[in-house]
């Protein structure tokens, strides 16, 4: 085993683990610790990072085809594992034995910029923060956010008629406006633009491969943007406490901890910025995939149109599931093993970074016949009953399961419903078809879609 190599991230989960002494025992495994697991070392220094960056989905598909349901690879200076298959995902995400840390798994990526992110918290602390944040996701709150989104969608679709749209740009715009109106409670304008520009720089910083702010300009800019957004949010929190609205920030500004005290502004800011991070790229991805598959499969668009009367009808749900099965907005979900564990009879030493690779998991042939084919009927109630509950996991599972899942589903349904009610979509012939799966699944080029108004009664 290599010498102790603690990830220099800090943050609440890590402090909690350090306090229990579990973190102090962790080191990253070296090749000899993982030699019984097939995989690839790649180039000196950079490992397989160039191949991953070139095409994450193809890299996973090749590794899966060669090594099966568990494989290792070297990147960012250490070994990582990917696992697929319902049994492994249940072990990793449901984690009945509490053998994994989400904070340690996501820490290297998220902690330097967002040390207070919910996803970085483990154990009791996570439970408490999730309970607090969950208040802002109650059904009544979601219904309010949903009304705002439905309105935005109506306006936007009105502008699309007779035009060729760039589906990803439009999906991003919708997600951005939703964040401004429903999460921040601001109107569209310069203040909102400033807040969202800071947010965009933070998101850019999260992607910077180097963790040292002096080596990575994007990360450095991300840290500066975080400080600016913190200041802006602190002012907004004060204003919302005096005059609360129905927006998410108003709701969290009024949250109280177990002792009845209002949360501190920096805790609220961290909570809120993480929420934007968790929601923004994932929703842009899901809405873009919705538009793409509606355009590419007009037969399904017609079926959804015929189902209009039933707002939560099964076909809409099946359609959305198939969109995110093929294009999972969160392609890999990370954990770090806190103790020796076993997947498919192979021992994985404590300290190993383990990712549930959803791109590959959602295309396992024994679960999804002809996995690359778009076919929402896979999610008929009968076929769903036959599957393992972790065969399909776009929102993760277990204690960190996506808090925004219901909101995300209802937004995607709302977009699909509004589109098929008013329009017919078709993929522009010169539009590229490839997707790039990092950090969220997105089109490789400009995904162009033609929008035509549906004539009344047709």
- The contact set with ligand HEM (CB under 6 A) reads 93, 102, 118-119, 130, 275, 278-279, 282-283, 286, 324, 329-330, 333, 394-396, 400, 402-404, 407-408
Beta bridge partners of 392: none
Q: How far is the CB of 32 from ligand HEM (least distance, A)?
A: 29
Q: How far is the CB of 386 from ligand HEM (least distance, A)?
A: 23
User: Rounded to whole angstroms, how far apart are CA atoms 180 and 276?
Assistant: 10
The angle, 0 to 180 degrees and rounded to 10, between the axes of the packed helices 405-422 and 314-326 is 110
Nearer to ligand HEM, 265 or 290 (CB): 290
- 249 Cβ partners below 8 Å, 6+ apart? 183, 184, 185, 233, 236, 237, 240, 268, 272
Nearer to ligand HEM, 126 or 424 (CB): 126
Q: How far is the CB of 407 from ligand HEM (least distance, A)?
A: 5
Nearer to ligand HEM, 400 or 413 (CB): 400
Pair 353, 336: CB distance under 8 Å? yes
User: Rounded to whole angstroms, how far apart are CA atoms 151 and 372?
Assistant: 34
**Phi (first) and psi of residue 341, to 5 degrees:** -135, 175
Nearer to ligand HEM, 179 or 448 (CB): 179
299-306 long-range contacts, Cβ below 8 Å, gap at least 24? 300/374, 300/376, 301/419, 301/420, 301/424, 301/425, 302/420, 304/416, 304/417, 304/420, 305/420, 305/421, 305/454
- 87 Cβ partners below 8 Å, 6+ apart? 344, 388, 390
User: Rounded to whole angstroms, how far apart are CA atoms 452 and 445?
Assistant: 22
Nearer to ligand HEM, 104 or 166 (CB): 104
Q: How far is the CB of 324 from ligand HEM (least distance, A)?
A: 6
Q: How far is the CB of 96 from ligand HEM (least distance, A)?
A: 15
Q: How far is the CB of 94 from ligand HEM (least distance, A)?
A: 10
- The answer, yes or no, to whether the previous bond of 310 is cis (omega within 30 of 0) is no
Nearer to ligand HEM, 116 or 213 (CB): 116
- 334 Cβ partners below 8 Å, 6+ apart? 102, 105, 106, 109, 353, 354, 355
**Residue whose Cβ sits closest to ligand HEM:** 404
Q: How far is the CB of 366 from ligand HEM (least distance, A)?
A: 22
Nearer to ligand HEM, 130 or 144 (CB): 130
Nearer to ligand HEM, 186 or 333 (CB): 333
42: three-class secondary structure by DSSP: coil
Q: How far is the CB of 240 from ligand HEM (least distance, A)?
A: 18
Using alpha carbons, select from 328, 301, 456, 296 the residue that is nearest to residue 392.
328
Nearer to ligand HEM, 73 or 149 (CB): 149
- 396 Cβ partners below 8 Å, 6+ apart? 93, 330, 333, 356, 402
Q: How far is the CB of 455 from ligand HEM (least distance, A)?
A: 32
Pair 150, 239: CB distance under 8 Å? no
Nearer to ligand HEM, 292 or 424 (CB): 292
DSSP H helices in 297-404: 298-306, 314-326, 358-361, 381-386
Beta bridge partners of 80: 73, 353
Nearer to ligand HEM, 297 or 400 (CB): 400
Residue 208: exposed, middle, or buried by beta-carbon count in 10 A (0-12, 13-18, 19+)? buried
Would the CA dihedral through 285, 286, 288, 289 be positive or negative?
positive
Q: How far is the CB of 244 from ligand HEM (least distance, A)?
A: 19
Nearer to ligand HEM, 333 or 418 (CB): 333
In whole angstroms, how large is the CA radius of gyration of the chain? 22
Q: How far is the CB of 398 from ligand HEM (least distance, A)?
A: 7
Q: How far is the CB of 119 from ligand HEM (least distance, A)?
A: 4
């Amino acid at each position: 085993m290599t010498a102790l190599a603690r990830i220099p991230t800090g943050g609440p989960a890590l402090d909690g683990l350090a306090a229990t002494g579990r973190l102090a025992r962790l080191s990253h495994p070296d090749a000899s610790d993982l030699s019984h697991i097939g995989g690839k070392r790649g180039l000196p220094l950079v490992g397989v990072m160039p191949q991953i960056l070139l095409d994450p989905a193809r890299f996973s598909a090749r590794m899966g085809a060669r090594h099966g349901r568990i494989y290792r690879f070297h990147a960012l200076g250490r070994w990582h594992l990917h696992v697929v298959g319902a049994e492994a995902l249940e072990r990793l995400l449901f984690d009945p034995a509490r053998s994994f840390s989400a904070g340690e798994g996501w820490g290297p990526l998220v902690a330097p910029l967002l040390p207070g992110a919910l996803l970085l918290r483990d154990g009791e602390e996570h439970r408490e923060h999730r309970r607090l944040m969950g208040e802002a996701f109650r059904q009544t709150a979601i219904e309010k956010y949903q009304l705002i989104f439905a309105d935005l969608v109506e306006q936007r679709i009105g502008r699309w008629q007779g035009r060729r749209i760039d589906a990803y740009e439009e999906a991003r715009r919708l997600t951005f406006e939703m964040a401004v109106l429903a999460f921040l409670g601001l109107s569209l304008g310069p203040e909102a633009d400033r807040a969202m520009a800071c947010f965009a720089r933070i998101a850019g910083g999260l992607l910077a491969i180097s963790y040292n702010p002096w080596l990575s300009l994007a990360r450095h800019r991300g840290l500066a943007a975080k400080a600016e957004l913190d200041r802006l949010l602190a002012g907004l929190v004060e204003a919302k406490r005096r005059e609360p609205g129905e927006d998410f920030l108003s709701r969290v500004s009024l949250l109280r901890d177990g002792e009845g005290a209002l949360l501190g502004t920096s805790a609220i800011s961290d909570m809120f910025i993480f929420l934007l991070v968790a929601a923004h790229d994932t929703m842009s991805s899901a809405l873009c995939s919705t538009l793409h598959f509606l355009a590419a499969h007009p037969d399904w668009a017609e079926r959804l149109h015929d189902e209009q009367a039933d707002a939560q009808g099964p076909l809409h749900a099946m359609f959305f599931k198939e969109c995110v099965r093929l294009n999972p907005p969160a392609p890999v979900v990370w954990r770090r093993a806190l103790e020796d564990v076993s997947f498919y009879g192979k021992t994985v030493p404590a300290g190993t970074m383990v990712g549930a690779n959803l791109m590959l998991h959602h295309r396992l042939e024994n679960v999804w016949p002809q996995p690359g084919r778009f076919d929402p009927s896979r999610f008929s109630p009968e076929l769903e009953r036959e599957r393992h509950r972790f065969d399909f996991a776009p929102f993760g599972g277990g204690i960190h399961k996506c808090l925004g899942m219901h909101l995300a589903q209802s937004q995607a349904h709302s977009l699909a419903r509004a589109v098929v009610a008013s329009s017919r979509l078709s993929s522009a012939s010169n539009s590229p078809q490839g997707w790039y799966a990092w950090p969220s699944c997105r089109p490789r080029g400009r995904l162009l879609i033609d929008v035509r108004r549906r004539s009344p009664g047709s």
